[in-house]
Chains A and B, each alone.
Chain A
Amino acid sequence: MGALMVIFSLQPKQRRKPTDSVEDELELSAVRHRPEGLGQLEAQTRFSRKELQILYRGFKNECPSGIVNEETFKDIYAQFFPQGDASTYAHFLFNAFDTDHNGSVSFEDFVMGLSILLRGTIQEKLKWAFNLYDINKDGYITKEEMLDIMKAIYDMMGKCTYPVLKEETPRQHVEVFFQKMDKNKDGVVTIDEFIDCCQNDENIMRSMHLFENVL
């Protein structure tokens, strides 16, 4: 009796096998990527050879296959913020880094992004930030997009904060932001409004220079 049951249960597995193996092979072959040459990267970014070497070593250590997919990206970023949930913000960041929108961040994407953030002009940095906030990349930041971003940032804080986080805090923050940025009160922020407004704000200007010595 038991033998019959065992025989019956064996059969479905065999039918499943052929398709599985093909897919497995495809997966294995897809995850390899070699970056462009060091010289090319040096030309395209503002990093020196040595800095690129250091960056690549760190990058390759974490991602031996040479590219980062979104899951890995979220994992890595989440380790820096253990108290809260960094996955949403990491998602937005990933989209900001993944300039060609192919679902993975290669070393070139990584290094280009870093080059802008660390060595770029104020204009470039602000453009990058605008690109981050503009989730659908249509050139306008709407309140909903901003709210999403704000919620993602507040999520990273986690529960244990002082003072205690309330439900409407992100929304209020978005209101403040829009009041500041939206000059013509049309409900969206364009890139020019954004850049102008930021350049007139001293605090923002000062903080833009904050991470220049990171590498």
Chain B
Amino acid sequence: MATGVAAWLPFARAAAIGWMPVASCPMPVAPRDHRRRQDELIILNVSGRRFQTWRTTLDRYPDTLLGSSEKDFFYNEETKEYFFDRDPDAFRSILNFYRTGKLHFPRHECISAYDEELTFFGIIPEIIGDCCYEEYKDRKRENLERLQDDQEENKDVKLPHMNFRQTMWRAFENPHTSTMALVFYYVTGFFIAISVITNVVETVPCGSTPTQKDMPCGERYTVAFFCMDTACVMIFTVEYLLRLFAAPSRYRFMRSVMSIIDVVAILPYYIGLVMTDNEDVSGAFVTLRVFRVFRIFKFSRHSQGLRILGYTLKSCASELGFLLFSLTMAIIIFATVMFYAEKGSSSSKFTSIPASFWYTIVTMTTLGYGDMVPKTIAGKIFGSICSLSGVLVIALPVPVIVSNFSRIYHQNQRADKRRAQKKARMARIHLAKSGSANAFLLSKRNGLLNELLELTGTNTGEQKLPKSACLLESQHHHLLHCLEKTTAHEFVDEQLYEQNYVEAVMQSFPAARRESVSSRDTATPTCCGRRSKRNTTLPIAALQPGVNQQGPLQELSAIHIQCADRPSRSTSRSKLNLKADDVGRLNCKGGRITTAIVSLPSPPALTTPDSDNLRGPPTRRPPLPSPGPSIQTTTSSANVVKVSAL
């Protein structure tokens, strides 16, 4: 039963009394309506905008959110209303659906936002009313195409386990996938051009020889042209055979337009080879040479514009057909009229109706060669009518074709633009993500430092390291922390990750590692400084000799804070990378390592525990809530304080 007319159900049931007297069997018992409560107003608070409606209105559709008990989850006891934190504008059409039974799609809404709202409220989009359904479907299709375009881009990523044949096919279809494909693409393009140019130049008169004057080049330099032709055809043949081999469906490939063009382009040569001896058919052979010009169509693989043009013509087939048909009609009519009008005049060129066709066509397309001109007055009158109507008939279907072409062309342009923008978009997203990851790492260190401070019972009066910027962030970081604890792994930044990876590889060669470590240890500060980026391996690497009881896992999770003599550093560091410098220098100097820890600006006297050290830094510390992560390390004298993150 359609719930849209739920209000009329009582009427329908009452009207059933009309069946009673004629009923052949006793009637079943009516269902009792236990909840005989009065109809009440329900307040729906959607992001502050209050909608009110009757409870029975909502109950009409019991399989949606508002019509079922699911809305009790959103009930607010204090205000006695149902609160939804959703878009109030979109909610309007949803509530109207309950009221009128028809779901409308507001045109200014974004299609995906609207879809989300519908899904949230449990309404299937298929019940959108007829008035809005087409628009909805169109927008949905556009959105889908956009998504598909993006997906196709991703598909370009090389799939694993592609055999040779598939790789070749992909190379043929998408020249940008590999260098070889690009080379092939350009080579074939070059040879197509060469072939077309030779065909053209062949016919140019080359200058006179003693024997004959004004021979076309083709006959003068026969051998040269023949060699060129052979080379081109060989290339084309090889290309065609390769494509045939690589095609996933050979039958479909052979039927496709491009392959037919390929075949037609190379066939005349082979037929010519076979038929050179036979003089009788040489005339036909000459005609065949005309087909060589089809090679120019091979350019459509190289030019997107050509493909669009071809596609447009295909899609405007009906308009073109109409144009042709109306033109034919007009030509026949006017040719007949002109013929009979000019029949009387002497020496008229209009010898027959088909002869008049030429005049009509030339006039209607406003060419006006002037080789056939009407001489009688009637002929001139009809001739002028002919030219006027020609303009109209041709002008009518052309805008349709033009607009089709323009639409398809712009669609392709949009796709290209999206692809170009996508890279920039992805880069920005990646930057944002890595920024937040770094923030987490930073806060983790800060948190650990705080723990350290508390562990060592320092007076953290003014030395409190800055807490996270807001509660939200700290909760998020806590969450990531919990994840770390769960998996017994840590988040590290990219560099450290790469180095850890290298380290893991080096695990299998302990001896070599030791050597490398020691070699690095003995490196001078300057060379460490130069190799700043790579020095961050040192922390991990040197951990092994430094504090030997760690397994690799614990290495990753343990953070060692060591003390060492260190020169003062400048306080502000804006890049994580720079800490590597310090760490490197630290390591080189003192052979101690700190991992993943930022270096403090200055190492004060080292005998006392951290408090002294930490007193120094605050004075030099720049305002820490600066955007970039500023980096500090703690040092404690002669104590290896291992603060394990586990």
Q: Which of B5, B17, B330, B396 contacts A79 (CB 8 A)?
A: B5
Chain A residues with Cβ below 8 Å from B12 are 77, 80
**A110 an interface residue at 8 Å Cβ cutoff?**
yes
Number of chain B interface residues as a range: 35 or more
Q: Please give, as numbers and ranges, the residues of chain A lying within 8 Å of B79 by CB-CB distance.
A: none
Inter-chain CA distance A2–B390, complex, in Å, is: 9
B143-170 interface bits toward A, Cβ cutoff 8 Å, 1 = contact, 0 = none = 0000000000000000000000000000
Q: Find out whether the CB atom of B15 lies under 8 angstroms from the CB atom of A93.
A: yes
Contact yes or no, A61 B100, CB < 8 A: yes
Interchain CB contact under 8 A, B8 and A129: no
Query: Can you list, as one digit per residue, whether each of A141-181 has a CB less than 8 Å from chain B (1) or not (0)?
Result: 00000100110010000000000000000000100110000
CB of B27 within 8 Å of the partner chain: yes
**B27 and A207: CB pair below 8 A?**
yes
- B13 and A149 contact, CB distance less than 8 A: no
Indicate whether A2 sits within 8 Å of B393 (C-beta atoms), given known contacts A57-B7, A61-B100, A149-B22. Answer: yes
Shortest B155–chain A CB gap in Å is: 45
Per a CB cutoff under 8 Å, which of A114, A150, A203 touches B26?
A: A203
Taking CB atoms and an 8 Å cut-off, the chain A residues in 77-94 that contact chain B are 77, 79-80, 82, 93
B392 located at the interface, meaning its Cβ lies under 8 Å from any Cβ of chain A in the complex: yes
Selected from A3, A110, A207, the residue in CB contact (under 8 A) with B23 is A207
**A59 touches B (CB below 8 Å):** yes
Q: What are 12 A-B pairs with beta-carbon distances under 8 A? A: A3-B389, A76-B5, A77-B8, A93-B18, A114-B10, A129-B17, A176-B24, A177-B21, A177-B22, A204-B21, A204-B23, A208-B17
The residue among A2, A3, A113, A177 with the most chain B CB atoms within 10 A of its own CB is A2
Which A residues touch B392, using CB under 8 A? 2-3
CB-nearest residue of chain B relative to A58? B7
Q: Is A126 an interface residue (CB 8 A)?
A: yes
Q: Are B7 and A59 in contact (CB under 8 A)?
A: yes
Residues of A contacting B4 in the complex (Cβ-Cβ under 8 angstroms)? 79
Once the chains are docked, how many angstroms separate the CA of A210 from the CA of B14?
9
Residues of B within 8 A of A58 (CB): 6-8, 10
Q: Are B389 and A114 touching (Cβ within 8 A)? A: no
Highest count of chain B CB atoms <10 Å: which of A3, A50, A57, A80: A80
Question: How many Å lie between the Cα of A114 and that of B1 in the bound state?
Answer: 21
B32 and A129 form a contact (CB under 8 A): no
CB < 8 Å neighbour of A207 from B20, B54, B326 = B20
Of B8, B19, B24, B329, the residue contacting A62 (CB under 8 A) is B8
Asked if A128 is an interface residue, CB under 8 A from chain B, the answer is yes
In the bound assembly, the distance between CA atoms of A58 and B9 in angstroms comes to 10
| Min CB gap A124→B, angstroms | 11
Chain B stretch 2-61: residues in CB contact (< 8 A) with chain A: 2, 4-27, 29-30, 32-33, 38-39, 54, 56
Distance to closest chain A CB from B391 (angstroms): 9
Q: Point out residues on A near B: beta carbons under 8 Å.
A: 1-4, 50, 54-55, 57-59, 61-62, 76-77, 79-80, 82, 93, 96, 110, 113-114, 117-118, 125-126, 128-129, 132-133, 146, 149-150, 153, 173, 176-177, 194, 198, 203-204, 206-208, 210-211, 213-215
Answer yes or no: B333 CB below 8 A from chain A CBs.
yes
Q: Does B298 contact A (CB under 8 A)?
A: no
A residues in contact with B329, CB < 8 Å: 1
Q: Give the distance in Å from the alpha carbon of A203 to the alpha carbon of B30 in the complex.
A: 14
Contacts of A4 in B (CB 8 A): 389
- Chain A residues contacting B27 (CB-CB under 8 Å) are 203, 206-207, 210
* Chain B neighbourhood of A125, CB < 8 A: 17
- Contact status of A57 and B8, CB under 8 A, knowing A3-B392, A93-B15, A128-B17: no
Nearest residue (CB) in B for A212 is B30
Min CB gap A70→B, angstroms: 15
Taking a contact as CB atoms under 8 Å apart, the answer to whether B20 and A204 are in contact is yes
The yes or no answer to B573 lying at the interface (CB within 8 A) is: no
Let me know if A210 and B18 touch, CB within 8 A. Answer: no
Q: Could you say which residues of chain A place their CB within 8 Å of the CB of B32?
A: 213
Assembly CA distance A79 to B38 (angstroms): 26
Q: Give the CA-CA distance A82 to B12 in the complex, in Å.
A: 14
List chain A residues, Cβ under 8 A from B140: none
Residue of A nearest to B25 (CB): A203
A145 to chain B minimum Cβ distance, whole angstroms, is 12
Taking a contact as CB atoms under 8 Å apart, the answer to whether A57 and B54 are in contact is yes
Q: B75-117: which residues lie under 8 A (CB-CB) from chain A?
A: 99-100
Would you list the 5 A-B pairs with minimal beta carbon distance, nearest first? Answer: A58-B7, A117-B14, A207-B27, A79-B2, A1-B330
Interchain CB contact under 8 A, A126 and B21: yes
Distance (whole angstroms) from the CB of A106 to the closest CB of chain B: 14
The closest CB in chain B to the CB of A208 belongs to B20
Q: Are B393 and A3 in contact (CB under 8 A)?
A: yes
| In the bound complex, CA of A156 to CA of B213 (Å) | 97
Report B347 CB to chain A, min CB distance, Å: 29
- Which residue of chain B is the closest to A53 with respect to CB atoms? B39
| Nearest A residue (CB) for B394 | A2
For residue A203, which residues in chain B have a CB less than 8 angstroms away from its CB? 23, 25-27
Contact partner, B326, options A2, A149, A177, Cβ 8 Å: A2
- What is the CB-to-nearest-CB distance from A98 to chain B, in angstroms, rounded to a whole number? 13
Please measure, in the bound complex, the distance between the C-alpha atom of A114 and the C-alpha atom of B393, giving whole angstroms: 66
Given contacts A3-B389, A57-B54, contact A82 B1 (CB under 8 A): yes
Output the nearest chain B residue to A96 by Cβ-Cβ distance.
B18
* Cβ contact within 8 Å between B17 and A110: no
Q: Are A117 and B30 in contact (CB under 8 A)?
A: no
Q: In the complex, what residues of A have CB within 8 A of residue B6's CB?
A: 58
Further 9 A-B residue pairs, CB within 8 A, beyond A203-B25, A214-B10: A2-B393, A3-B392, A55-B10, A77-B12, A114-B11, A117-B17, A128-B18, A133-B21, A211-B17
The residue among B4, B14, B25 with the most chain A CB atoms within 10 A of its own CB is: B14
**Known interface pairs A203-B26, A204-B20; A117-B7 also in contact (CB < 8 Å):** no
User: For residue B22, which residues in chain A have a CB less than 8 angstroms away from its CB?
Assistant: 146, 149-150, 153, 173, 177
- Verify A211–B23 contact, CB threshold 8 A: no
Q: Are A207 and B333 in contact (CB under 8 A)?
A: no
Complex Cα distance, B12 from A89, in Å, reads 12
Evaluate contact between A61 and B326: CB separation under 8 angstroms: no
Determine how close the nearest CB of chain A comes to the CB of B323; give it in whole angstroms. Answer: 10
Kindly list chain B residues whose C-beta atoms are within 8 Å of the C-beta of A173.
22, 24
A211 touches B24 (CB 8 A): no
Residues in chain B near residue A110, CB distance under 8 A = 11
B38 touches which of A2, A50, A77, A96 (Cβ 8 Å):
A50
- Cross-interface CB contact of B393 among A1, A93, A129, A176, cutoff 8 Å: A1
* Bound form: Cα–Cα A204–B26 in Å: 8
Q: How far is the CA of A145 from the CA of B53 in the complex (A)?
A: 45
In the complex, how many angstroms separate the beta carbon of A136 from the nearest chain B beta carbon?
17
User: Is the CB–CB distance between A1 and B23 below 8 Å?
Assistant: no
**How many angstroms between the C-alpha atoms of A208 and B19 in the bound complex?**
10
Min CB distance, A169 to chain B, in Å?
Answer: 10
Of the candidates A1, A54, A198, A214, the one whose C-beta lies within 8 Å of that of B21 is A198
Q: How far is the CA of A96 from the CA of B18 in the complex (A)?
A: 10
B13 touches A214 (CB 8 A): yes
